Amino acid sequence: MKANSHLTKSLLAAALLSLSLGAYAAPDWSKVSKRTIQVFHPGVTPIEWIVTKGSGHGGANGFRNKGEPCIGCHEDAGELNFDTEKLSTKPLEPVGAPTTKIFPVAVQAAYDAENIYFRLSFKAPGAGAADAPREAKDPKHTMKVAMMLAGEKVPQATQAGCWATCHTDVRSMPGADMAKKKYVAGADLDSGAYTDYFQWKSGVGGAGAVSLDGHVATERVNKDGKALVKAEGEEKNGEWVVTFTRKLTGGAGDVPLAEGKSVPFGIAIHADQVLYRFHHVSLGYMLGIGAEGDVKAMKF
């Protein structure tokens, strides 16, 4: 009887372990479709530049008055069609542009009953901002990869994605206060006027990798998120692969996800140890979870 009791306990423990592992088991990525998204160095082009008449942004009127999304004008057959050289020279880049101004990222997404999984893969870009000031370099991390999911009340998020968090007065913008972090206009965690933010940092030489799970509301907060399960990344032969496992629901600052929902998102990649705006970013896209989207998450 005692032996049977031990056996029962062992089988129960094994079953619970199996269920636990199964809840966080990543999909077979070879079976998940890829959506190529090009990321680029944005220079000094905050949301105010995008929407303001006379800023030099030709699409300001359509964006402001017609509700046109950025990719409606600027993406053609998966490739961006704007002048990256213009974004890399004065006045739109007063400090220094990276050697590689634009590059493709393969984005995949899948979900199950508990989690959503993201996989981003790309060839390592060239050197970071050529003339970036010393304070805009991060010696602790060679590569950083982040995603933002926008809440339902984030202004213009369905058009511009995480651009809604980038303003003329945030740090590293010309003449701005270096203590001023990204924020959302009219931020309110209770109503959904915030962006969910999570990031993987590589460390240097494979050591010191970390992840952040936070949000952007009145300012960017790099902690307190409850949804990110894990973030992993590696580089082989110049190609980086970064994966995120995130619970569908978390706590305050975690955008709630569910089957049948479409959510605005954007990605950002800080290569070559750069900080702040000296990164490569995407335009705004829609994630479809069993719903319409530029990137459609596969159920498995």
- Pair of tokens at residue 205: 């030489």
Q: Is residue 159 part of a domain?
A: yes
Facing residues of 263 across strands?
287
**Chain segment 237-249, per-residue pLDDT in tens:** 989 999 999 999 9
CATH number, domain of 221, equals 2.60.40.1190
Q: Give 288's Cβ-side CA count (13 Å radius).
A: 10
Task: Record the pTM.
Answer: 0.91
Q: Is residue 177 part of a domain?
A: yes
**Is the Cβ–Cβ distance between 170 and 274 less than 8 Å?**
no
Query: In the chain, how many domains are there?
Result: 1
Q: Is residue 65 part of a domain?
A: yes
Q: Is residue 13 part of a domain?
A: no
Q: Which domain holds residue 172?
A: 32-299
Ordered alpha helix ranges (H), the chain: 2-23, 47-51, 60-66, 70-74, 84-87, 157-160
Q: Is residue 23 part of a domain?
A: no
Q: Is residue 174 part of a domain?
A: yes
185-190: long-range pairs with CB below 8 Å, 24+: 185/155, 186/153, 186/155, 187/216, 187/217, 187/218, 188/153, 188/217, 189/215, 189/217, 189/252, 189/253
The whole-number pLDDT of residue 2 equals: 47
Which of 293, 286, 279 lies closest to 146, judged by CA?
279
User: What span, in angstroms and rounded, lies between the C-alpha atoms of 245 and 21?
Assistant: 13
The whole-number pLDDT of residue 128 equals: 80
The whole-number pLDDT of residue 11 equals: 52
Residue ranges of the chain with pLDDT lower than 50?
1-3, 7, 14-22
- Pair of tokens at residue 84: 């990256």
Q: Is residue 50 part of a domain?
A: yes
The whole-number pLDDT of residue 132 equals: 82
Q: Is residue 147 part of a domain?
A: yes
**Is the Cβ–Cβ distance between 82 and 255 less than 8 Å?**
no
The whole-number pLDDT of residue 71 equals: 96
